[in-house]
Amino acid sequence: MGQTSVMRKPLTPAREFISPSDLTFGLSTCSRCLWIKYWFKVTMPGAFPLVGTLADLQEKHFRGASMTDIDSSLKEGTVTKWGEWVKSTPLIVNGESTRWRILGKYDLVAHNTDGTLALIDCKVSDSTRDSAQFYAPQLEAYAHSLESPATGKPAHVASMGLLVWNPEEGFSDGERHGFLAGQKYLPVERDHTQFAKVIENLITVLEGELPESGPTCATCNYLIERARLDVL
């Protein structure tokens, strides 16, 4: 599409806290909407019915769970925290401290018996996109915030992973009804170098001028068609 526009930046961004999910979804299409979100706090509305409800139900199921019951490859430990906000110290790019930090709410954290932590992100999904690699920057952002917290003691995150429930069939006992899901745990390898690259890329974009829109985003194509019709 290659639209070019000039937009005056305010003196400071409207928000300086980076959402971990923006490191996956935000950067996977084009960064123009992200730039607008951080400088003007104008966010494209999402339409994800049921996603939050299903994730909450799944997360509740694992409160207090044993990690080795979740997956035999995991260290011994117990899920002790859920749905807590984490905020990092300012992010460093090329050795320089920036104004940007991570702020996000993780799903599950376990305390391992050896004193380390394990981080788990819950998903209810049948999407083939739910690969460990796709979500790696998001999980790394939570791990980074736990290891470099704005307040409190730094922890060591020994493992990260996705816990995916894939709905497979309907279920009913006459009174209660639902879906039966297959469960898989997908380990996500720690990769500090890749995370540093993603952060540098995002911060460079945010500190620059308004980026051009991506060529394939259905939302921008829709908006352009609307503008052609000259209707709001």
**Positions that interact with ligand SF4 (CB under 6 A):** 29-30, 32-33, 213-214, 217, 219-220
Q: How far is the CB of 224 from ligand SF4 (least distance, A)?
A: 9
Quote the CA–CA distance of 11 and 210 in Å, as a whole number.
14
Q: Is the dihedral of CA 205, 210, 216, 219 positive or negative?
A: positive
| Residue number with CB closer to ligand SF4 (68 or 204) | 204
* Helix, strand or coil, per DSSP, at residue 131: coil
What's the closest the beta carbon of residue 42 comes to ligand SF4, in angstroms?
11
Which residue's CB is nearer to ligand SF4, number 29 or number 116?
29
Q: Amino acid letter at 117? A: L
Report the distance separating Cα 97 and Cα 107, nearest Å: 28
CB 36 to ligand SF4: min, Å: 8
Rounded least distance, CB 4 to ligand SF4, Å = 12
Q: Which is nearer to ligand SF4, 9 or 192 (CB)?
A: 9
Contacts of 110 (CB under 8 A, 6+ apart): 65, 67, 74, 77, 78, 79, 80, 117, 118, 120
Give the nearer residue to ligand SF4 in terms of CB position, either 37 or 123.
37
